[in-house]
Amino acid sequence: MNFPIYRMRRLRRTGALRKLVRETELNASDLILPLFVAEGKNVKRPISSMPGHSQLSPDLIKKEVASVYKLGISAVILFGIPKKKDEKGAFAYAPNGPVQQAIRVIKKAVPGLIVITDVCMCEYTSHGHCGIIKNGDVDNDSTLKALAKEALSHARAGADIIAPSDMMDGRVGAIRETLDRNGFSRIPIMSYAAKYASAFYGPFREAAESTPSFGDRRSYQMDPANSDEAIREVELDIEEGADIVMVKPAMPCLDIIRMVKDTFRYPVAAYNVSGEYSMVKAASRKGWLDGEKAMMEMLLSIKRAGADIIVTYFAKEAAALLKKGE
């Protein structure tokens, strides 16, 4: 395969040729749009650090998901923002909480849209941590009971997929056992299996109102320096009953996405997180890069790394561009 007999540029010469031999395709159906559900009616609170996104009450989410579905996006994932919080995050499993309301609204309005629910305590606790605090730290085992109750409340409301993001040890098993015991064995679990303690989550803290009031989350989220640990985390979640495994954040962890896909051959999701979104938006506003091209290159690279599913705040914009290019 030596030059000049073999010329790599032959198949790059035209757009049609490039498309013919393209190895990775990005589709709207690969994308999941995160939505932030606020209590009340006619509530729309723009998120300053994430232009284009807002906290929405269930009645306004009804309008949002209709447009999402028309774009060919396969699913949304819901995060709840309650009016009241307490130390144990009890409102996370309230039958009429914001997420539970939104599930029912969405399934009635757009039955074909997959509704995924984030299961964690951070949006519901007064201290902003992902579990129940004992002796100044998150207590793993007592948190499992609360997470299982939250997951069950989502399943009862009509959720299609449960997605625990807390990073407590054993939470997938606890949720699987609770769902199965209560007649929800058909509900898949998409676990945040390898979730790193990342600086790229910053804007999400504003969106979900979940900034910890003390300390940080490094005692339960993964150290960004570790990769072998990610494989152990994913393996444990699969053994406990996870149906889809997620890597978060996406862009700093493309190597982890590939390792997970190659090792397990399981459905792999990747979370293109708030900081990744906001960086592109900020640079685009400054005129420092082409926002649309950067967005599509970013999403394509995540897919190329091995992700089957991409959770992204770019979902609607990307889907619209993909639809335009059909």
DSSP state of 189: B
User: Residue 75 falls within a domain, yes or no?
Assistant: yes
Residue type, 166: D
Tell me the C-alpha distance between 121 and 107, whole Å. 24
The answer to the question of residue 236 being in a domain is: yes
Q: Total domain count for the chain?
A: 1
- Return the CATH number at 172: 3.20.20.70
Tell whether 11 is covered by a domain. Answer: no
161 beta partners: 116
Cα–Cα distance measured from residue 251 to residue 295, given in angstroms and rounded to the nearest whole number: 12
Judge whether 7 lies within some domain: no
Provide the pLDDT for residue 21.
Answer: 96
pLDDT computed for residue 326 by the predictor = 60
The residues of the chain scoring below 50 in pLDDT are none
Residues that are catalytic: 195, 248
Which positions ≥6 away from 289 have C-beta within 8 Å?
A: 280, 283
pLDDT of residue 251: 98
Q: Is 97 exposed, middle or buried (0-12, 13-18, 19+ CB in 10 A)?
A: buried
- The predicted structure's pLDDT at residue 20: 95
Q: Which amino acid is at 210?
A: S
Closest Cα partner for 279 from 203, 197, 198? 203
Instruction: Give residue 141's domain range.
Output: 24-324
Please tell me the pTM assigned to this model: 0.96
Domain assignment present for 208: yes
Domain presence at residue 158? yes
**pLDDT per residue over 203-256, tens digit each?**
998 888 888 888 888 999 999 999 999 999 999 999 999 999 999 999 999 999
